[in-house]
Amino acid sequence: MPLIGSDRDKRRDATISSVQKQYKPCIPQPFNMPGDIFRKKAQDKFSQQLQEQQQKIRRDAEFRANPVPSFYPPTYAKQIKDLEMTSDQLDQCCPNHIRLATESRAQERAQYEEYKRRKQEELDFLKQIEEDQRHQLEQEEIRLERKASEFKANPFNNVQTEIQRVEPKPVTQAITPVVLKRVPSGKKK
């Protein structure tokens, strides 16, 4: 039997609705890989070890002083305490006119400082004199150099010199030697 258009539409709609019911739109769902659990455990273990190591370093860095050793047994400690003197007892047993070396040393140091200051003044004075002499010598050299570098024309000396007159020699007559005899041109031999 041939399908009528409406039945065909109904079947088509039914197929589409069943497909739509089967496939829901794609919503991303989280998924776990088996290696993620091991990685998470390793990271937790590493961070715990790191914290323990930092705490150990902090504990080792704290300063803890050892107790002061007792050099005397407890029975001698009371005797030593009894031997300690008060300030009044110290004044009675020790003289008050103690002369410290700081006073004499301060005087010696003052004398030395004065000597050093005078010596420095002398050196400065000698240095200043030497510098002045060097400066004067330089100025003199500069003056001489300038004087030597000035152009000076050398004028002709005004000294009269005598010019010697040379006497002229008498003129000589040239004489040729007669080697050949002259033959008069008109005569033949």
Average pLDDT, the chain: 78
Neighbours of 87 (CB within 10 A): 7
- φ/ψ region of 142 (left if φ > 0, alpha if ψ in -120 to 50, else beta) reads alpha
Question: pTM to 2 decimals?
Answer: 0.29
> Per the structure block, which two tokens stand in for 62?
């704290």
Is 100's pLDDT higher than 70? yes
CA distance 113 to 115: 5
Q: What is the largest CA-CA distance in the chain?
A: 186
pLDDT of the residue at 81 = 63
Find, among 68, 52, 48, the residue nearest to 60 by Cα: 52
User: 82-86, 97-101, 116-120, 127-131: lowest mean pLDDT where?
Assistant: 82-86
120-162 pLDDT, tens digit per residue, is 999 999 999 999 999 999 999 999 999 888 877 776 777 667 7
- Taking the chain, what is the end-to-end CA distance rounded to the nearest angstrom? 186
CA distance 137 to 93: 75
pLDDT of the residue at 21 = 59
